[in-house]
Structure 1
Amino acid sequence: MRVTMRLRTLALVGLFVFTGARAELPEPVARLAYAAGIPEEAIGAIVLRGDTILVSNEADRPMLPASTMKVITSVVALDQLGPAFRGRTELRSSGDIVNGTLKGDLLVRGGADLDFTEDALVHLLERLRAQGVRRIAGDLVLDRQLFQPPRADVGKPQFDEAPEAYYNVIPDALLLNMNLLTVDMDSHGNGAVKAAILPELDRVDVRSGQALVNADCAAWEDGWKPPTVARNGGRLTVTLHGTFPRNCRQSYRINVLDRDDYADRLFRATWKRLGGTIAGKTRTVDLAEHTSALAAAAAAQGAIGSADGTASSAASSSSSPGGTDVDGTRLLAQHLSRALPELVRDTMKVSDNAWARTLFLSLGSLQGDETLGSRPLPAGQRLAMLMAANGGDTSMPSSTQARAEAVVRDWFKRHGIDDSGMVVENGSGLSRIERLRPVQLAAVLAAAEESPWAPEFQASLPIVGVDGTMKRRLKGTVAASRARIKTGTLRSGVAVAGYVPDANGEQCIVVAIINHDNIDHATGRGIVDALIEWTANSSAASPM
């Protein structure tokens, strides 16, 4: 079956590249585009029924895919990492536990755990407490080194005018609670906005500097401005700015604290509530420490400089507490995320950028493991990557992003899909440089149909008129409750990609991308939705 699929996708791509096959946009789609002033050359579209091309318009043109890029990340992740894959967070130490005191540092090692929430932290620390630990004599050490660079957010230019918004979170391997604060704002009562934040963090306050206005509470975001954070000694104060409607109550999730501050303060506040204390400071594992640990692990396995060896990493973990790792630490407690199909579903349904980016980076740093859930790439590979990043072998990927991209391109090659014209930045579509050809998206969707994990992938796609980002679209049409579509929206782009049963119940692949500087999102969605509806109503192949 896989060989058949490879031949089919090869034929599909070759058909467009070498023969310029074309079936025009359906009349309802073309009419809406004309009325909106969107030229047909700004619309890349392809509709397939089996091996028959029903629609093709600019299908071989590289285009800005927006969040339909998540289709690539999700399909490759399911195939490469496997459905048993789980991210993990570990508490480790080289110190002994004596009379309730951990005689050493407590290392918190990040392993791309998307479920590492405030509640997960509580459960993790409860497991530490169950071992008799009440006092940590050393430092709290944060290990984000699984992803390289470990803090891609530092120095990164903001994507748009809302850097504090959740959709703009740039992940790392130890992203506790997505680094989010939930701000509750209430202007009922004494003529001022009362502000509170959750979770409660050690030595973090919030105040509102928002001016009250007579405005619709539902439109409160019109007056929102990015908050600021001030440091006074050991305390942090988050100040809200802009305007806020009178007699209004709203909540909003923001990403404004440095994540080392956030992890430090949430960890300490949670441990304190559980009756624990930490004597030392909070610090992060630096590059020298990480390189030394990798070198020790690689040497122990005879894999120094082996870019494709199978030696286990220094960051690989025991499946139960007690085992000592090559770096001299032992596992005290761990938290595992849910299995990959659930993570993919939650990523795709609501189009979560941070989660998609984390899954993408996992492709460049982790392997699936049916027993452990996941384990880092071999130490030799990771050490070679670090050496490349610091002026070593330039043939090696020098970052986790570069390695993840190499994994995606290798997957394309193995499935007979031409990757020319594809530009990958972060795997989420929140990018102004990522590019895909509509025919590539169609080929990936075709390959996904034949994958062993096809049910898991298709279950992750929003159901038209029912849930996710398609919940309010195409209600009352023949496509509602039947088609499964991933959406994408950026300032200059609108896109859809997925599966649409036709009038006879035969599943079709539909991809449509509009790139135009003057596109109105509502209008653009109407155009691509018209293609979905046309496909759902179709029953015979269009002539070529």
Structure 2
Amino acid sequence: MVRFALLTAALLLAGCATTAVPDPVQAALDKAGLPADSLGFVLQPLDGSRPALQRRADAAMAPASTMKLVTATVALDQLGINHRGRTELLAASAPINGIIQGPLILRGGADPDLDWPALWWLLRQLRESGVREIRGGLVVDRTLFQPTRFDIGLPPFDEAPEFDYNVIPDALHLNGSLLDFELQAAADGVTARPLPALTGLSVDASAMTLSSRPCKDWDEYWKPALVQPAGDGWALKLQGAFPANCSQRAPLQIVDRQWLVTHAVRQLWGELGGRMGPGDTQGAAPAGAVVLATHRGRPLAEVLRGVMKRSDNALTRLIYLQLGAQAAQPGEATLAASERVVRDWLKGHGVDTAALVLDNGSGLSRSERVSPALLAGVLRAGQRGDHAPELLGTLPIAGVDGTLSRRLKDGPAAGQARLKTGTLRDAVGLAGFVPDAQGRPWVFVALLNDPDAARKGRPVLDALVNWVATQR
């Protein structure tokens, strides 16, 4: 520690841009067998009372989910803490004598809270207004974003496209494009059923075997389901192995989302005593369409707390797309507009974007890149902004909650550091604020990129957090 302190002091006095790796962090790197050059960091008291300690500060590095800090900070400023997505039921003209002559239109407005109860309540509002018959079918309007379906034709991120972290959202984010499946180990195999049960959907788990894995690791031997059309529905055949003596409710992206929407609406509407004619499709609501019922999601500041604490990829992508939808020029793709908004915001706050590569704003990407200095600049700008308390409140607390609930529990940073985590197979990161031994918050950014980062890198970052927490 004395060697490191003397070396750091000498480097700072000389104005050197690179700081030596602290002894406990170097020890963690050596134990993990990771090279020092895999680590980049920027560490500095938020009040600027000491020069920044930094290493590879300007390197373009994979951020993993620390990228969510960029999206969250820009969104709070550009969309506002009270921004709310919404879902609407519309018709081309007002109902007459309880009858909608044409189709019912379900228009998505990037509502993060459109779950099954919310959809039921929308239809209930319509039914209680006196509507009993819809003579057209259902039109699903996803045109808030362009193109309307980013997921179509896009190669899967990894070998588990059915899991919730891989959902690529569109403007109608009904139940996160997921359907729950209740999986239950039985004496002779596995049983499964969808929740809610939808007419036309069958599930066969007879090919699944029982494993000796702990129940918490139920997805270790999961294999993608076989999906076959069956009349107007789907037949799903689940595969892989499931732990014995285990029961799980798994939200999965297996069923086509357009089918899911149309059949859920029809089934709920029928259960409410309504009738609906044939002809379901996707398209835009006509000009002058009449709004018949509305559901509003929670304000952005509330949504972001859950997004950041649990590192929700799909909702981060939804928020990133809303940045573009709000600013898009005629004919401009939404993702291109989102990138323009983020880059303009960063430049407006004096943050160098030379290392920045944007994809979807969530960090679930093989191409996204930031530098430690860029993330540090975002953190400083966020804390100077009007929404600093809201942003700080979204970050996981060391050893307490979110993605840090099981990390840094026993060290000096426990209960004090607030940090966004990030993990990909070849990248781990932590970025946020760490109070030192005198209670001064430090801007903390540490990224580690290496083929073994996910397996070996977290203890290195945790050692750096604890080192900052002991500084005076």
Q: Give 3-state SS (helix, strand or coil) of 2:218's partner.
A: helix
Tell me the distance in 2 between the aligned counterparts of 1:80 and 1:213.
50
Match of residue 330 from structure 1: 290
- 1:265-284 deviations in Å (ceiling 9; x for gaps): 11112112211121122100
- Quick check: 1:93–1:332 contact (8 Å CA) kept in 2? yes
Match of residue 376 from structure 2: 442
- Quick check: 2:17–2:55 contact (8 Å CA) kept in 1? no
Tell me the distance in 2 between the aligned counterparts of 1:527 and 1:331.
54
User: Using a 3 Å threshold, how does the CA distance of structure 1 residues 149 and 20 change in structure 2: closer, same or farther?
Assistant: farther
User: Using a 3 Å threshold, how does the CA distance of structure 1 residues 533 and 217 change in structure 2: closer, same or farther?
Assistant: closer
Q: Give 3-state SS (helix, strand or coil) of 1:97's partner.
A: coil
Match of residue 3 from structure 2: none
Q: CA deviation at 1:214?
A: 4.7
User: Using a 3 Å threshold, how does the CA distance of structure 1 residues 408 and 100 change in structure 2: closer, same or farther?
Assistant: same
Tell me the distance in 2 between the aligned counterparts of 1:487 and 1:156.
26
- Quick check: 2:189–2:206 contact (8 Å CA) kept in 1? no
Alignment of 1:400-479 (within 5 A): 400-479=334-413
Q: Please tell me the residue identity of whatever aligns with 2:423.
A: T
Q: Give 3-state SS (helix, strand or coil) of 1:449's partner.
A: helix
Match of residue 392 from structure 1: none
Tell me the distance in 2 between the aligned counterparts of 1:96 and 1:86.
26
Tell me the distance in 2 between the aligned counterparts of 1:211 and 1:416.
55
Q: Give 3-state SS (helix, strand or coil) of 1:275's partner.
A: coil
Residues 1:496 and 2:430 are matched in the alignment: yes
Tell me the distance in 1 between the aligned counterparts of 2:173 and 2:104.
17
- Quick check: 1:175–1:259 contact (8 Å CA) kept in 2? no
Q: CA deviation at 1:185?
A: 1.4
Alignment of 1:21-420 (within 5 A): 21-49=17-45, 50-51=47-48, 52-189=50-187, 191-218=188-215, 219-285=217-283, 327-366=287-326, 382=329, 384-385=330-331, 398-420=332-354
- Provide the alpha-carbon RMSD of the alignment: 1.6
Q: Please tell me the residue identity of whatever aligns with 1:345.
A: R
- Quick check: 2:424–2:454 contact (8 Å CA) kept in 1? no
Q: CA deviation at 1:217?
A: 4.0
Q: Give 3-state SS (helix, strand or coil) of 1:133's partner.
A: coil
- Quick check: 1:66–1:431 contact (8 Å CA) kept in 2? yes
Q: Give 3-state SS (helix, strand or coil) of 1:193's partner.
A: strand
- 1:374-408 deviations in Å (ceiling 9; x for gaps): xxx5xxx55x22xxxxxxxxxxxx31001000000
Tell me the distance in 1 between the aligned counterparts of 2:313 and 2:244.
33
Match of residue 301 from structure 1: none
Residues 1:527 and 2:472 are matched in the alignment: no
Q: CA deviation at 1:200?
A: 2.3
- 1:250-299 deviations in Å (ceiling 9; x for gaps): 222110111111111111121122111211221000xxx68xx6xxxxxx
Q: CA deviation at 1:520?
A: 4.4
Tell me the distance in 1 between the aligned counterparts of 2:192 and 2:177.
19
Q: CA deviation at 1:199?
A: 2.0
Q: Report which stretch shifted further, 56-65 or 101-110.
A: 101-110
Q: Give 3-state SS (helix, strand or coil) of 1:53's partner.
A: coil
Q: Which runs of 5 or more residues in structure 2 are unaligned?
A: 1-11
Tell me the distance in 1 between the aligned counterparts of 2:175 and 2:143.
18
- Quick check: 1:210–1:244 contact (8 Å CA) kept in 2? no
Q: CA deviation at 1:116?
A: 0.7
Q: CA deviation at 1:220?
A: 3.0
Q: Give 3-state SS (helix, strand or coil) of 1:365's partner.
A: helix
User: Using a 3 Å threshold, how does the CA distance of structure 1 residues 127 and 157 change in structure 2: closer, same or farther?
Assistant: same
* Equivalent residue for 2:440, pick from 506, 509, 532: 506
- Quick check: 1:464–1:482 contact (8 Å CA) kept in 2? yes
Q: Which runs of 5 or more residues in structure 1 are unaligned?
A: 1-15, 294-326, 367-376, 386-397, 540-544
Tell me the distance in 2 between the aligned counterparts of 1:230 and 1:172.
24
Q: Please tell me the residue identity of whatever aligns with 1:476.
A: D
Q: CA deviation at 1:193?
A: 1.4
- Quick check: 2:189–2:210 contact (8 Å CA) kept in 1? no
Q: CA deviation at 1:23?
A: 2.0
Q: Report which stretch shifted further, 204-213 or 77-86.
A: 204-213
Q: CA deviation at 1:206?
A: 1.2
Tell me the distance in 2 between the aligned counterparts of 1:243 and 1:412.
47
Q: CA deviation at 1:96?
A: 3.2
User: Using a 3 Å threshold, how does the CA distance of structure 1 residues 168 and 20 change in structure 2: closer, same or farther?
Assistant: farther
Q: Please tell me the residue identity of whatever aligns with 1:495.
A: G
- 1:96-143 deviations in Å (ceiling 9; x for gaps): 323322122111111110111111111111111121011111121001
Match of residue 310 from structure 1: none
Tell me the distance in 1 between the aligned counterparts of 2:200 and 2:263.
7
Q: Please tell me the residue identity of whatever aligns with 2:20.
A: E
- Quick check: 2:112–2:297 contact (8 Å CA) kept in 1? yes
Count of residues in correspondence between the two structures: 456
Q: Report which stretch shifted further, 235-244 or 348-357.
A: 235-244
Q: Give 3-state SS (helix, strand or coil) of 2:447's partner.
A: strand
Q: CA deviation at 1:54?
A: 4.6
Tell me the distance in 2 between the aligned counterparts of 1:221 and 1:117.
24
- Quick check: 1:217–1:245 contact (8 Å CA) kept in 2? yes
Tell me the distance in 1 between the aligned counterparts of 2:244 and 2:343.
53
Q: CA deviation at 1:223?
A: 2.1
Q: Please tell me the residue identity of whatever aligns with 1:151.
A: R
Q: Give 3-state SS (helix, strand or coil) of 2:281's partner.
A: strand
User: Using a 3 Å threshold, how does the CA distance of structure 1 residues 359 and 146 change in structure 2: closer, same or farther?
Assistant: same
Tell me the distance in 2 between the aligned counterparts of 1:208 and 1:238.
8
- 1:427-467 deviations in Å (ceiling 9; x for gaps): 00000000000000001001111111000000000011110
- Quick check: 1:192–1:212 contact (8 Å CA) kept in 2? yes
- Quick check: 1:95–1:105 contact (8 Å CA) kept in 2? no
- Quick check: 1:29–1:530 contact (8 Å CA) kept in 2? yes
User: Using a 3 Å threshold, how does the CA distance of structure 1 residues 130 and 254 change in structure 2: closer, same or farther?
Assistant: same
Q: Please tell me the residue identity of whatever aligns with 1:534.
A: W
Tell me the distance in 2 between the aligned counterparts of 1:125 and 1:20.
64
Q: Report which stretch shifted further, 357-366 or 27-36.
A: 27-36
Tell me the distance in 1 between the aligned counterparts of 2:74 and 2:182.
39
Q: Report which stretch shifted further, 48-57 or 134-143.
A: 48-57
* Over 6 Å off, 4+ runs: none
Tell me the distance in 2 between the aligned counterparts of 1:168 and 1:174.
16
Tell me the distance in 2 between the aligned counterparts of 1:272 and 1:78.
40
